[in-house]
Chain A
Amino acid sequence: PDGCSVGHGPPGPLCPGPESCPVCVSFAGGSLTKLAYYSTVQHKVAKVRSFDHSGKDTEREHEPPYEISVQEEITARLHFIKFENTYIEACLDFIKDHLVNTETKVIQATGGGAYKFKDLIEEKLRLKVDKEDVMTCLIKGCNFVLKNIPHEAFVYQKDSDPEFRFQTNHPHIFPYLLVNIGSGVSIVKVETEDRFEWVGGSSIGGGTFWGLGALLTKTKKFDELLHLASRGQHSNVDMLVRDVYGGAHQTLGLSGNLIASSFGKSATADQEFSKEDMAKSLLHMISNDIGQLACLHARLHSLDRVYFGGFFIRGHPVTMRTITYSINFFSKGEVQALFLRHEGYLGAIGAFLKGAEQDNPNQYSWGENYAGSSGLMSASPELGPAQRARSGTFDLLEMDRLERPLVNLPLLLDPPSYVPDTVDLTDDALARKYWLTCFEEALDGVVKRAVASQPDSVDAAERAEKFRQKYWNKLQTLRQQPFAYGTLTVRSLLDTREHCLNEFNFPDPYSKVKQRENGVALRCFPGVVRSLDALGWEERQLALVKGLLAGNVFDWGAKAVSEPWLVDSYSEWLQRLKGPPHKCALIFADNSGIDIILGVFPFVRELLLRGTEVILACNSGPALNDVTHSESLIVAERIAGMDPVVHSALREERLLLVQTGSSSPCLDLSRLDKGLAALVRERGADLVVIEGMGRAVHTNYHAALRCESLKLAVIKNAWLAERLGGRLFSVIFKYEVPAE
């Protein structure tokens, strides 16, 4: 969205499509405007299609198994922009020029500015301003981000590294307490999507800090006041317990540093107080007060999750720190102070959702587009206002509407405690350093691959260069602020790369490679099956497993896996196979080519022969060389043509091919396609097979399921292998049976 950036935003290649509406504007905190709009964006997507073989008898040796075409696809995207009110006119021009189609009659606006700018908006846009209730919008927005953005909420811990600790998505977000600290404080208890109640408030809020702070220090700007506060010593102004008790507080077991009376010293001491000290004292006074009230309300309503928002909090580590301290102090740790990455957008999101109610955006799942979103800024308290300005003046969030709603895998043992990622790179500085470097070093290769994937495009090199720049910048941001997009993980690094590639119209750089490998593997399929069938039962089981593993190694050119296996519960698995067949197996496939065709399909075939139904789940969209759902359909069709077992299973729906809803090389079992989940329930799946490093090691290695599971991978990364105590190409074969 370049137009809207009024010269500030990073230019993007995607133009809003013709149906960019509705629009909403949200004003909060007096100085910032949030603009939310809905656009349709055109993506290039790689489509695969089977050749029509009806006219041909045989397939020629080097002919690809299917054809690839690049098509334009229109997807829906929500854009949120935050900028200073001074740019309001430029913003309205942008809306006028680009977004408001002829049928749009109403624009949603919320926040104090909705009153202030009503006339301007109506005059400029010739639209009726529909003022939405601030708190309703805020809560709608809050529900939306909590449901749709993984790692949206975080706790702030000043002295730990990292300071931000993200919460995993909780399937049940209600009930919660929302404390919005604007100029005043509103405390709202949210019970369901539509039911919420204003339970209390306080007039001592951000406006008090700002107003009183300005009077006391002659400092005009909110950010400057915070900056002053971060350098002050409140004990010079506040009367502390030690001032009242003298040295005795120690023997009394009192903490002498606790504040007995805010500003108590300025009542008795005849002296000058520094601006910094007064600002700090004021900050403590207000934060403590709000924290105390929040705790009292949380206790009254028996709630332990309190989300804080409003301009007082908005990304300011200083206030997040004092609020957290206060909540911990007053609740004795029973209440958790939570903050939101996209707190500043809640009102705009909510206003937008209200305006778009006929579309009901809530029926869809949305995903954050890492490529188009600014990350959470770490603004250390020591940072001056000028340095902080970047986060305050212009900020972006983009949410892509996903084709289908995403839900939990019904087989998760305990959805609330499920964490997909194995290593938290925000936490693990060593691993973070390694992986960031690893992704930086791999960038050249990805760029080359991207260019090579579009030999006919004139601007491929140029776009690939832009991609390089964008992804490189993201990596640098993440080096500085690992928490910028939530918990940093190998998965998020991979996903961000995919988003950036998409952003520059490289929808599927591996499509040709996958096509070629699939062709080669398909030709080998009959021979592999024949030789497997020739083996004795026990030998065959081992060969099938080795096939799965070898296929997994193939794309990295490994010839043999490392012995002994690093994690080896093969004998338990073999023992299990001697028992009754599973009812239904859910298999998450990984790579294209040998992996899917010579590894997974023979394994599937064996399960089918045992009488086990199979659900084969592949990615909805492309990611690296992973097999996509549409490719898997073609591959299955081709295999069915060669193999009666697969053929009849497909026909009888004992083998079902489904999509995961994901376009990631990793796997988040809490965000899976709704259809997949329904099928898993319907068929009573009792075995889950997860294959590949991205899905079984980087993610889900520790995932606990309610049924048996197989996690298979070859560690194709020397550093990781060593970390796990093995060598390169070590094998993970993890067969798990849930405890009774």
Chain B
Amino acid sequence: MIAYADFKIESLAYFSKKMPNHVRWVLQQIKSRIERLNALFRPVMHYNCSAHHEGTNMTEEASNISSDTAAYPWSKNEMFLFRAALAFAMRDYTNGEEFGVSDIHPCDETKRVSFWFVVTRPNTTDLVDKGTVEMAIKKSRNRINGAFLLTDQTLEFDGIYPTLAAPVSPDTPPWLIVFGVVMGAVSVGIIALLAYPLVQRKLKKNKDADDEDSDEETGVKTAEIGANDGIYNSTFSDDERFTQM
């Protein structure tokens, strides 16, 4: 008991930006004086959990936890699934040590679907240290999430931060596409608007040249271009009526 009194519970700062409907497990720190307490480890569930929980004896409720939560249905079966998933994670990490469901010991379960647990080596009562368990969970995080159909945001291991997904970077940035389309249209428009009157003028010149030729051929009197519009005012012109080309 004394040894466990030395334990500091991991900080209870387990919220900030997580969503509700989350399940929380907390790992327990293992100290060096394990060997002295080996004998006390059998009733793990009652022993170490009630020592550092604030007064209330949660053990009975812990073993009888039933799910009333509307958000996430929790039951003994789910707990079994958790233990199995964690045993898998330990096996995967330690490459073969045959962890079983019985090696995962949860305790201090609350209605909030959050609890502590410790892991012992297979067929012994040696506790596995926190660092190893953390690494194992980090490695198989996806599988554990998947087992419960939860995500990194809805399933939290206190003290283990999820590795953030790399941002998606597409091959062609979308803004380049839009920019290209818009600027292409604008450039084409500018060139078209600048070139159009030049082209038009050239066509008109050819047409006028043709008209002039046809007029001269037919020899119309004063039907030169534009003589019909308006009254010619000779006051301001110095030389002949129509300027030479």
Q: Do A and B interact?
A: no
